[in-house]
Structure formats: structure tokens, C-alpha cells
Amino acid sequence: MEPAAHSPFSLLPPRGSRRSGFAGPAGTADLPSAVPARGGGDRDRLLQALRATIANLERPMLGASPAGPSTRTALQDDGWWLGCAAADALLPECGLSLAGVHEIKPAGSAGSASAGDWMAGLGFALRLAALRLNQLKGPGSKDAMMLWCWPQPFSSELGQLSLQGLAHMGIDPARVLLVETPRQSEALTALEEGLKSGRLALAAGVIKDVDLNGARRLSLAAAARRTPCLLATHPAASGAAATATRWRVAVAQSGQHPFDCKAPGKARFKVALERCRGRPQSMDAAPFVMEWCDETFRFGLATQLAHGAARPRRAAYGS
């Protein structure tokens, strides 16, 4: 079990220090004094120092160096695809947006969600994260981090993430930042600050719901750094606004094990695309069943559906 960080602000820059009687805002401890200086030369040097400091603050932080191109830019790839032709055909030409929020809702029943429903939604979200991390390219792709953030009530009810389980799904536990907050509002703040930092390849959060203002802030933060955000929400809550996609995920029976008929096989998910901002016509598509391959770390259409409908059962004798 991985101990979670108890402060939602672990990703924030340190508080500024007092300088010339002024307490600077967070992250401005290294700024030169803003006291006006006499003489044109001193003023020009002050402005140059301020511009250089602002440029350093604005530079994406995934291994970027002042003399070279941003590693964050080098990490951009050809898209974020599920690997399942039936699902990828519903997405825009660029696949899942790298600059947006993707909401995942367990199917639930009558507005409630059992532990099994939540496990289906969270399992689908974690496999989307594994897809993203394994599809990264360019220098620094092996060191790009993922943020997993949720309020303490969720971690107490559903349990902490398993390091062995993450590794089995293709996610290196050393690349996961776990943040556990006392309240949901602090979890949203940690998600937003993580997206703004430019240090992440992906941010994922588990919350009950999010209002319009919170969803827009997350969407803007994701677009600013071109860092995707996964948001797992309660099935009874209204769908979040300003999201690129919304997926409804239900429990599906696992496939057959190739060597042991009594052992569980590939994990399967019954998925419906409820919202797709880049391709609205896809929302009318019927739900389908996908299965996850632990060898290729990709989704595929469930085996019995991949080659047409399953054969009908043989009629009973004498019918």
C-alpha cells in the first residue's frame, strides 16, 4: 500500500519570503525587489531581471533547459488512442484530446453506485492512464509523472491503490504522485495546480461531482499546458460541463483464461460514449464491450464480438 500525501498543496511552489517589507505571493521568492531605482541603467537592469524570472516561471518544467527546447513539447505525440477500432472510430481525428478533461462515470443503478461499479469506472480510468503513459514519445517520456488525487473518504471506502496492480497494468508506481485531501474542494485545487505546473503527463481525480466553475477551471488548466485530465465522478451526479468526453462504464464479465477455465481472463468493460465535444454524432452509438490486454497495454473489442454475433445456442431436443 502506498501512503498518500496528506497536503493538497504538495505540488505548489514554496511561499515567498519577505523582502523590503513586502511578503510576495507563492513562487516569487526569487524575484528582485520591486522598489523603484533611480537612474535609467538600474531600471533597465531591473526590467531585464524581471523578464528573465517570468520566463523561467512560464517555462514548462518537464526537464526543460534554458538553452534547449522544452521536453514537454517533445512529449507531444500523434494522439491518445484506445487501440479498439470500434471506440477510436467514435473519436475526432486527433483521438482523445490531450488538452481537455475526460469524465468517467460508473453505470450504477437507480442513482447509486456499488463498490463493483466504482471498480469498473476506476479500472477503466487507470487503463486510460496506462495508455497515455505508454504512448508518450520523445526525450523525458520515461520520467513523465502521473497525478492521482482524491478526497480521504474515497480512499477509506475504496482502498488505496495497489503498487503491484499498477505495475500489472503497465504503470510504473514510481511515476505516480498520490495526493489525498481532507475535502473535495482541496482535491480539485490540487488537480488544477498539478495541471498548471507543466510537470505531468496526466492528472486523474476521483470526486463526487464538480460544478460549472470547477469544470471550466480544470479544462482551462488542461488546455494551458496541454495536459489531459481524467475525472471519475459519482453516477448520480450531473455530467460535468466543459469536458471533452464523458464515458459511462459498467461491469462486464471477464473473458476466458487461455489456460485455466476457472481463472479470470482479460478485464472487460461495457462502455458508452455519452459526450464527445469534437464529434457530437458519436453520442448516438450503442454501448460496446472492450477488453484490456495486459501484454500490449491496449484495449480491443471483446473476443466474442470481434467477428460478428455469437452463434445461437443449439435448440433443445424435441423442440
Summarize pLDDT for 235-275 with one digit per residue, the tens: 888 888 899 999 999 988 887 777 777 777 788 999 999 99
Q: Is residue 24 part of a domain?
A: no
C-alpha distances in Å from residue 156, one per residue of 152, 153, 191? 6, 5, 20
Q: Is residue 7 part of a domain?
A: no
Same domain, 268 and 173: yes
Q: Is residue 311 part of a domain?
A: no
**Percent of the chain beyond pLDDT 90?**
39
* pLDDT band of 189, cuts 50, 70, 90: very high
Same domain, 171 and 262: yes
pLDDT tens sequence across 147-185: 999 999 988 888 889 999 999 888 999 999 999 999 999
Q: How far is CA 161 from the centre of its chain?
A: 15
Q: Are 22 and 34 in contact (CB under 8 A)?
A: yes
Structural domain of residue 259, as residue ranges?
76-306
Q: Is residue 19 part of a domain?
A: no
* pLDDT band of 282, cuts 50, 70, 90: confident
Q: Is residue 283 part of a domain?
A: yes
Task: List the single range of 82-96, 256-270, 301-315 with lowest mean pLDDT.
Answer: 301-315
- Residue 111: pLDDT over 90: no
Same domain, 41 and 139: no
Separation of alpha carbons 35 and 33, rounded Å = 5
- Average pLDDT value for residue range 196-214: 93
User: How high is the pLDDT of residue 303?
Assistant: 63
How many domains does the chain fold into?
A: 2
pLDDT tens sequence across 18-66: 444 434 444 444 444 444 445 567 888 888 888 777 766 654 444 443 3
Strand partners, 203: 147, 229
Please identify, among 43, 68, 93, the residue that sits at the C-terminal boundary of a domain: 68
How high does pLDDT run on average in the chain? 77
- Residue 276: pLDDT over 90: yes
Q: Is residue 84 part of a domain?
A: yes
- Kindly report the backbone phi and psi dihedral angles of residue 5, in degrees, each rounded to the nearest multiple of 5, phi listed first: -70, 135
